[in-house]
Copies of this chain bind each other. A is one copy, B any other.
């Protein structure tokens, strides 16, 4: 795949894997309202994934459609960031992941709307409204849990501790990102870091929480070096298509 196709693939993979993770909450959330809101976020993410993956397949031009890319790639060919594949854990851990990622996604899609490639710009323009809501939802929960009971606060702190080391990867620029940016198609993700930090810090202050201590960042998702968690997710997600290729019954 060339850089622009890979760029679309990465955007699609981030949304697809996060959507799958959130879908695991379906019917297991602690309250009906939570079940509904997580399912709504999951749906938005899978919807974004279908658009970006279809675009990746179109740019690649080898006849792979979104389903082919979602269901017939091996774990090492997935290009999602490590943050989105992290396990749900408890609700606070899920919210921590969503909080860090949705603010990134909101800044990213807002910038991507200015892409010279109208296809990227159009998907971003639709998706930015969705992820703005996700960021608000997750921020509200961070405050509610962080500034809540002793138990909920402890769990929120633990959730943020878990997810924090995967934040740096969101803003890392490699050759693909640089090429997409140079072509006027992609976003300078490094420039998103400062506004992201400001947003995160403001919410954490509201939640009376400390920003987790800096950690050695964990990278590698973009080049296919994933945690074991992704393998389990994919074997679950891809089972039906792998067992019965192309079947829809």
Contacts and interface: CB of A to CB of B under 8 A. Distances in A.
A132 interface: no
Contacts of A239: 28
A15 to B, nearest CB: 11
Given A23-B39, A26-B42, A39-B42, A248 B31 contact: yes
A30 B247 contact: yes
28 contacts: A19-B27, A20-B27, A23-B39, A26-B39, A27-B236, A27-B237, A28-B237, A28-B240, A30-B247, A31-B71, A31-B248, A32-B49, A32-B70, A33-B50, A33-B67, A36-B47, A39-B42, A39-B43, A43-B43, A90-B249, A91-B248, A91-B249, A145-B248, A145-B249, A148-B249, A151-B247, A151-B249, A152-B248
Interface of A: 19-20, 23-24, 26-36, 39-40, 42-43, 46-47, 49-50, 53, 66-67, 70-71, 90-92, 145, 148, 151-152, 155-156, 236-237, 239-241, 244, 247-249
Given A26-B42, A43-B43, 18 more contacts: A20-B27, A24-B26, A24-B27, A26-B26, A26-B39, A29-B240, A30-B247, A30-B248, A31-B71, A32-B50, A32-B66, A32-B67, A32-B70, A33-B50, A33-B67, A35-B46, A91-B248, A91-B249
